[in-house]
Each structure stands twice: as C-alpha cells, then as structure tokens.
C-alpha cells in the first residue's frame, strides 16, 4: 500500500530545514561539484597557456570592435540582435535539484514538494535575469549609440527577456511531462519556433518604449506563473525531475569525458538511417584497402559523436581564420590539417580496436593505405572550406587579380592535405615500429 501524501497545511519544516534552505544548499553543492570536476582539467598549465590567452584575445577583440564599430553597423537592423537575445533564452530547464531519496519522505509531503517547485521557479527567474542583463551589458556599446536605445529601454529589454525565458522554461517542462518520443519533438519544434519569432517581434515593437516592454514582460511572467500553478498541482514528477538533473550534470561535465570510451547506445532500428542499403562511398578498386576505408568512413558519418567532432573543428577553424589577420590566418590554415589528421588518426585507432573489426587480420600496408585514404576524404571538405574562406578574404581585401585565389584554393587545399596525410601516416608508422 502506497503511503498517502500529508496534508498541504502541515508545517513545511523539518528541524531547522525549510524547502528554501535545502534548495539553496543543494544548488550550492551542485555548483561546487561542477567546479571540482572542472578543476581536474583546468590546472595551471591549461589556464596559463590556453585559458588566459583565449580570454585576453577575446576581450581585446571585443574591445577593439566596440571602440571602433564598422560603419556598416549603422545600417544594420535591430531585429537580428533581438533574435539572438531570444535564442539565448532557449537554453536551460526547469530545475528542482531533486534527488532519488526524496521519494521516501520529502515528496510525500505536498508542502515540501510545492516549496521545491516554487524555489525552482525563483532560481530559474534569477538565472534568466542574470544572463539577460549580462548579454544586454555586453551589447550596450552597440545598442545605446548605434541604435539609439536608452539605458531604461535596455534594462526593460533585459527584464522582458528574463520573463520570456521563464515562460519558455515552464512551457518546455510542461511539454516534456505531457509527451514522449516523436510526439514531444512534434510539440516542441513549433512551440519553440513560435516563441523565438514571437518574442523577438514583440521586443522589436517595444524596444524604444520601456513601459510597453515591461508590460509585455509582465504578461509573460503572468503566463509563467499560471504554468507554475499547474505544475505544482501535478503529481508523479519526481522521476522526470531526477532525469533532468542528471542530464544537466552530464551536460556540464561531459566535455571533460570527450576522449573517454563512450557507452554504446542501444540500437532502436533494424538498419541505420544513413546508407541503409550499405552503398559504398568509395569504389572498391583495391578490395582490402577500399573496403576498410569505406567501412570506417560510413562509421564516422553514422556516429553523431564522431561527426560532431568534425563539425566542431569546422566552426572553430572558420572562426580562427575569419577573426585573425590574413598572414596569420594562412599560418592557422596550414596548421589546422595537422590537428584534424591527428584527431582522425585517434578515431581510426579506436575503431580498429573494436572487437568485431579486430577479428580480421588486416595487412599493415592495407591498414596504412586505408587510414590515409579515408582520413584524406573526411578532412578534405573542412580544409577546402577553410581555404575558400581565406581566398575570399584575400580577394575582398586586395581585389583585382587577387580573386584568382578563389580558383587556386581548392587545388592548394587538396595537395596540402595530401602532404599532411603523408606526413602523419609516416609519423604513425615510425611510432609503431619503435613500439
């Protein structure tokens, strides 16, 4: 027999503990644990050689941009900036810092359960307010002089976005509790799109009027409070809250474990989504080499974690090339293929150590040629896009004959990547011989 909940009017206090105090202690313990995990990799060498230089470069770039903004910015519309501020509010979830042991006692008391729910609402609102004011302060050198907004309008926009983000948090939690699987995605996508474009459009209409902006924010806050009341009346949410806390904790510390062996997902389909008919990506001219290279390339494309690493390389490299002077950008472009090839080489070694792949007795020459061929084809789109970006910058800056760099970029990218692949393959072979 399941024990019944206690009456809601019972005192919400156990000794010196109240829901608010226990919530605050759990929130502090969570962030302390997160910082402890980060400290395992953020030692003094990482801070000195990577973190601090990155901060100095980012702050210097931001200072130069804000001190001397481009002239074209005066003709730039305000709506994309407001849309960016709206997209920031999509991050985050409704949190109660629930733990598995709460189901024994605390969540059987409706007063404690609702107390945790209210504190989660306050915590989410404070977090949204902090993020909104930080983003508004960072963009204030543009929003105030260029677009003519007043300080009161900027503060009202920050409050408006905090209220809008709080509404989205409660709506997202409501959808997560109501549907599962594809139905949840079917409800989340149109709801998210309507929120993003609707909130941005309302912000654009009231950006110059602080009173109107605050009134719209109050309407969002009232809607969020209504969803909170419905949420507090809902029972059986403990497992959902525990799963949310686990997901958030994994999101904060997951980057530390990027290079560790990942737990393989449970197959939910009888055949993969991509290349379900097992079409070859390479023509099998040399059976052993091409078959091995083709199998690994399809494995990389089918695995989201491996494909995500290549996309991270693409965007990080593009940012490094776009934000640095052209001579330095060329040096960065020459160095980036070595990093991509090293990452692909590590993924290749992990794939070759898989139990099924290790059953086959591959010849050393075939393995070396297959890894070189597959890595070349996987890295070529990245290096080609980076080369085109540099060529476009050169043509835009110099003009005239310099636009020929766009035509020469694909050829240079291919032959430079081919050289890098030969160098890394030879280096890997020499290491294996020494071992």
If asked whether residues 87 and 194 sit together in one domain, one would say: yes
CA 129 from chain centre, in angstroms, equals 21
pLDDT digits (tens, 9 = 90+) for 231-266: 999 888 899 999 999 999 988 887 776 655 455 555
**Is the residue at 248 inside a domain?**
yes
**Is the residue at 267 inside a domain?**
no
For 333-346, b/e burial (b = at least 16 CB within 10 A) is beebbeebbebbbe
If asked whether residues 159 and 295 sit together in one domain, one would say: no
**Is the residue at 262 inside a domain?**
no
Please give the structure tokens belonging to residue 362. Answer: 């591959």
If asked whether residues 245 and 342 sit together in one domain, one would say: no
Report field, pTM of the whole predicted structure over 0.75: no
**Is the residue at 427 inside a domain?**
yes
Q: Which residue range forms the structural domain that includes residue 395?
A: 287-434
If asked whether residues 238 and 117 sit together in one domain, one would say: yes
Sign of CA pseudo-dihedral 52, 53, 58, 63: positive
Q: Which residues of the chain have pLDDT under 50?
A: 1-11, 261
If asked whether residues 295 and 373 sit together in one domain, one would say: yes
Q: What are phi and psi of 427, to 5 degrees?
A: -65, -40
If asked whether residues 183 and 309 sit together in one domain, one would say: no
**Is the residue at 300 inside a domain?**
yes
Determine the Cα–Cα distance for residues 133 and 154; give it in Å rounded to an integer.
Answer: 9
Question: What is the domain count for the chain?
Answer: 2
If asked whether residues 230 and 361 sit together in one domain, one would say: no
**Is the residue at 1 inside a domain?**
no
**Is the residue at 46 inside a domain?**
yes
If asked whether residues 307 and 376 sit together in one domain, one would say: yes
If asked whether residues 247 and 308 sit together in one domain, one would say: no
If asked whether residues 249 and 299 sit together in one domain, one would say: no
If asked whether residues 253 and 299 sit together in one domain, one would say: no
pLDDT digits (tens, 9 = 90+) for 311-341: 888 888 888 888 788 888 888 888 888 888 8
**Is the residue at 184 inside a domain?**
yes
pLDDT of residue 165: 94
């Amino acid at each position: 027999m399941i024990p019944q909940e206690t009456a809601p009017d019972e005192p919400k206090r156990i000794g010196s503990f109240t829901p608010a105090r226990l919530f605050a202690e759990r929130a502090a313990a969570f962030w302390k644990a997160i910082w402890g995990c980060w400290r395992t990799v953020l030692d003094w060498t990482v801070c000195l050689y990577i973190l601090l230089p990155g901060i100095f470069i980012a702050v210097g770039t931001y200072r130069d941009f804000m001190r001397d903004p481009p002239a074209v910015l005066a003709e730039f519309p305000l709506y994309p900036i407001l849309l960016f501020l709206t997209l920031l509010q999509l991050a985050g979830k409704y949190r109660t810092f629930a733990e598995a042991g709460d189901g024994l006692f605390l969540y059987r008391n409706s007063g404690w359960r609702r107390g945790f729910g209210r504190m989660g609402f306050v915590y989410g609102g404070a977090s949204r307010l902090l993020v909104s004011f930080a983003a508004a302060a960072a963009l204030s050198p543009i929003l105030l002089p260029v677009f003519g907004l007043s300080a009161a309008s900027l503060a009202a926009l920050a409050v408006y976005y905090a209220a809008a983000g709080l509404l989205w948090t409660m709506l997202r939690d409501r959808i997560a509790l109501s549907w599962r699987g594809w139905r949840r995605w079917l409800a989340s996508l149109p709801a998210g799109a309507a929120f993003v474009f609707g909130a941005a459009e309302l912000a654009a209409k009231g950006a110059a009027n602080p009173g109107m902006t605050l009134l719209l924010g109050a309407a969002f806050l009232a809607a969020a409070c209504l969803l909170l009341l419905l949420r507090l009346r809902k029972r059986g949410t403990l497992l959902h809250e525990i799963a949310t806390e686990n997901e958030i904790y994994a999101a904060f510390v997951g980057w530390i474990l990027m290079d560790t062996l990942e737990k393989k997902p449970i197959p939910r389909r009888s055949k993969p989504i991509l290349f379900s008919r097992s079409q070859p990506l390479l023509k099998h001219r040399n059976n052993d080499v091409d078959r091995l290279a083709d199998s690994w390339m399809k494995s990389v494309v089918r695995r989201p974690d491996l494909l995500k690493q290549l996309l991270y390389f693409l965007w990080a490299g593009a940012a490094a090339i776009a934000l640095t002077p052209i001579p330095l950008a060329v040096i960065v472009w020459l160095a980036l293929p070595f990093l991509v090839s090293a990452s692909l080489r590590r993924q290749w070694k992990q794939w070759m150590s898989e139990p099924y792949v290790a059953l086959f007795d591959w010849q050393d020459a075939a393995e070396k040629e297959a890894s070189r061929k597959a890595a070349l084809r996987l890295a070529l789109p990245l290096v080609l896009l980076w080369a085109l970006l540099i060529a476009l910058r050169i043509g835009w800056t110099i003009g005239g004959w310099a636009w020929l760099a766009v035509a020469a970029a694909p050829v240079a990218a291919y032959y430079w990547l081919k050289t890098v692949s030969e160098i890394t393959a030879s280096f890997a072979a020499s290491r294996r011989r020494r071992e």
